[in-house]
Amino acid sequence: MCRHIAYLGPPVTLGEVLVAPAHGLVRQSWEPRRQRNGTVNADGFGVGWYAPGDPVPGRYRRGGPVWGDETFADLSRVVRSPALLAAVRDATFAGADGEAAAAPFAEGPLLFSHNGAVSGWPGSLAPLAAGLPPERLLSLAARSDSALIWALVLHRTALGEEIAQAVAGTVLGIGAAAPGSRLNLLLTDGSTVVATAWGDSLWYLRGPGRRTVVASEPYDDDPNWCEVPDRTLLTATRTDVLLTPLKEPTA
């Protein structure tokens, strides 16, 4: 259903994280090794990154496969950043909204991606959507479950919740409203990464030089990759990773 990755650490080119590794995100677009649903992620891609001194990230997104995009090949070679979030997409409904539906979504300093699908979409989330302010619904980036999930997260942060609390609360709320959903969320503000393992694979790698990578699957065969248990919230910085169990909603 998608592959995504976030990086925090010393400035690197986008390509060092997304292209150069033996099983990097670009290769995962056509040959994922641990994807549980779908086989080819060719329905769009995107990357967001932060420039030193600017809290608002830049983004590059397209509605087609990453392997055919020559502009991305140039960007990945020359753009450097201490933090990034990128994703390749296997759409539930191919072609829907094109580039607008490609992660990462963004608002202010935040970048966001969703790997998975909401069961019973769209009707299952109607009660949760009804609780959003009208302006939030009218400003949805796309007509997809991922865009609505993003709106639900942003509504919680607007009410004062920290990003980890907002992500956890959103996943638990959707899990109760739409059992069987796959809700691997990935969010960063450039200094912290928040992610959930909920129905699909999630891994992290802490490397030398104060760097942390969080990804749907390992991009190489480094034995230091750690798998995140299902139903878990991950909160990471450049130096620390905290795993918190997410309690399964009960009827």
What is the per-residue pLDDT across 156-214, written as a single tens digit (0 to 9) for each? Answer: 999 999 999 999 999 999 999 999 999 999 999 999 999 999 999 999 999 888 999 99
Place of tokens 């996943």: 171
Q: Sorting pLDDT into bands at 50, 70 and 90, what band is 15? A: very high
CB hemisphere CA count around 11 (13 angstroms): 9
Cβ-in-10-Å burial (0-12, 13-18, 19+) of 107 comes to: middle
Is the predicted pLDDT of residue 45 greater than 90, yes or no? yes
pLDDT score at 125? 96
Q: Which amino acid is at 193?
A: V
Asked if residues 5 and 17 have their Cβ atoms less than 8 Å apart, the reply is: yes
pLDDT score at 39? 74
Identify any residues that bridge with 233 across adjacent strands, giving them in sequence order: 196, 244
Q: Sorting pLDDT into bands at 50, 70 and 90, what band is 250? A: low
d(CA 153, CA 78): 32
Query: CB 106: neighbour CB atoms within 10 A?
Result: 19
Note if 226 is an active site residue: no
Omega of the bond leading into 52 within 30 degrees of 0 (cis): no
Segment 130-141 shows an average pLDDT of 94
Q: Which amino acid is at 87?
A: A
Is the predicted pLDDT of residue 96 greater than 70, yes or no? no
List the catalytic residue out of 2, 66, 153, 214: 2
70 to 43, 64, 67: CA distances (angstroms): 16, 12, 8
Q: Which domains does the chain have, with CATH numbers?
A: 2-245 (3.60.20.10)
Helix, strand, coil % in the chain, rounded to nearest 5: 25, 30, 45
pLDDT score at 241? 97
Whose CA is closest to 164, among 191, 146, 139, 140?
191
